[in-house]
Amino acid sequence: MAYHSKRAGLSPATRITNQIIERLEAGTKPWVKPWRGLPVSRPLRSCGTPYRGMNVFWLWMVADMCGYASPYWMTFAQANKLDAQVRKGEKSTIAIFYKSYSKEVEASEAGEPQEESRRVLRAYAVFNADQIDGLPERYHPAHDLALVEPEGRKTELDEFFGQIPAVLRHIGSEAYYEPSPDRITMPSPELFSGFDHYYATLGHELSHWTGHGSRLDRNLKNRFGSAAYAAEELIAELSSAILGAELGLPVTHLDNHASYIDHWLKLLRDDDRAILTAAARAEEASALLLKLGGRECGVSEAEPMTEAA
């Protein structure tokens, strides 16, 4: 995966920046603490000293992407010193630091050569404690909040979403769809206030999933903040609203995407047909999901769904 430590030809800063851009493009904020139920903590070194600066946000993000619960990170050698062992096949990520050095520079017209202090960014490989066997118990802090399944689970909705052949994983506390692996990531249902909001959020991400090239073939390779990105988010919002009406789900979860409203306003002001196109695409997306889930979409097959496009 792209956050692993070995990426030939890319500097540590470039690797980290690229991954943060990808997370922003997926609609997530990598600087938000990505889990609950554990003591609030910065990422920690093996000795317990907190990481600082960019390492905090970077290691939080990697923990979210990989589902790590422990805040502790260490090198292979540090794990060995604790009589522990990195599990076979586990991949490292990078932590970064600045290395200082002095360099002699040419003398000015009236002086001797001078020493200048410089810093260069360096990286080293680390593993999360969840990737390591045999660590003392303190490296795996216990949950301080019992995770309880929320109310509102319905067998018929489990069956509906279960029939849709999407690759779905439950990791971290962010919901997003990734076009390249064609995969949806959802938080555990226990992190939602109710199962209705879990289903509604899943419906939003599945609406993005319909746009893959093997399905409705929408343009999903667009950058965060672009008109194309705003248009795709609008399509997913409208599609999930249609699903909510068909399945009896709330639409209040749409308020969670208020950060996109400015982009949508610009999109609609720049193109007075954008909402018509988005609505037509949303109709296609929701109809596909309803069909895959075994529900009729309520639109006759003779009715053109892309007339507004």
Q: What is the pLDDT of residues 81-100, one digit of tens each?
A: 999 999 999 999 999 888 87
In a domain, 306, yes or no: no
Q: What pLDDT score was predicted for residue 259?
A: 52
Q: What pLDDT score was predicted for residue 166?
A: 98
CA angle 6, 61, 235 (to 5 degrees): 110
Task: Say if residue 215's pLDDT is above 60.
Answer: yes
Query: Which tens digits make up the pLDDT trace of 40-58?
Result: 578 999 999 988 888 888 8
Cα distances (angstroms) measured from residue 42 to each of 55, 70, 110, 166, 183: 9, 10, 50, 34, 29
Predicted confidence band of residue 29 (pLDDT cuts 50, 70, 90)? low
Task: Work out the average pLDDT over 179-200.
Answer: 90
In a domain, 149, yes or no: no
Predicted confidence band of residue 301 (pLDDT cuts 50, 70, 90)? very low
Q: What pLDDT score was predicted for residue 17?
A: 80
Q: What pLDDT score was predicted for residue 7?
A: 47
**Do residues 112 and 159 both lie within one domain?**
no
**Do residues 75 and 183 both lie within one domain?**
no
**Do residues 255 and 191 both lie within one domain?**
yes
Tell me which of 200 and 193 has the higher pLDDT: 200
**Do residues 96 and 174 both lie within one domain?**
no
Tell me which of 166 and 305 has the higher pLDDT: 166
Task: Work out the average pLDDT over 65-74.
Answer: 88
**Do residues 53 and 177 both lie within one domain?**
no
**Do residues 108 and 178 both lie within one domain?**
no
**Do residues 160 and 288 both lie within one domain?**
yes
In a domain, 78, yes or no: yes
**Do residues 161 and 286 both lie within one domain?**
yes
**Do residues 129 and 167 both lie within one domain?**
no
Q: DSSP string of 212-226?
A: STTTT-------TTS
Query: Which tens digits make up the pLDDT trace of 225-275?
Result: 788 888 998 899 889 888 988 898 865 555 444 456 667 777 888 887 888
Tell me which of 16 and 93 has the higher pLDDT: 93
Query: Which tens digits make up the pLDDT trace of 98-136?
Result: 887 777 766 666 666 777 777 788 899 999 999 999 999
Q: What pLDDT score was predicted for residue 34?
A: 41
Task: Work out the average pLDDT over 148-170.
Answer: 93
Task: Say if residue 305's pLDDT is above 70.
Answer: no
Contact yes or no for 252/262 (Cβ under 8 A): no
**Do residues 162 and 266 both lie within one domain?**
yes
Q: What average pLDDT does the chain have?
A: 81
The stretches of the chain forming alpha helices (DSSP H) are 12-25, 54-66, 76-81, 155-162, 195-209, 227-247, 261-270, 274-292
Q: What is the DSSP pairing of strand 132-133 with strand 85-86?
A: antiparallel
Percent of the chain predicted with pLDDT > 90: 36
**Do residues 90 and 219 both lie within one domain?**
no
Task: Say if residue 20's pLDDT is above 70.
Answer: yes
**Do residues 176 and 228 both lie within one domain?**
yes
In a domain, 145, yes or no: no
In a domain, 307, yes or no: no
Domain boundary among 139, 173, 202: 139
Task: Give the count of domains, the chain.
Answer: 2
Domain containing residue 238: 155-292
In a domain, 297, yes or no: no
Q: Which two tokens stand for residue 203?
A: 């419906």
Tell me which of 196 and 214 has the higher pLDDT: 214
In a domain, 213, yes or no: yes
In a domain, 195, yes or no: yes
Cα distances (angstroms) measured from residue 280 to each of 15, 192, 217, 264, 287: 38, 30, 14, 16, 11
Percent of the chain predicted with pLDDT > 70: 78
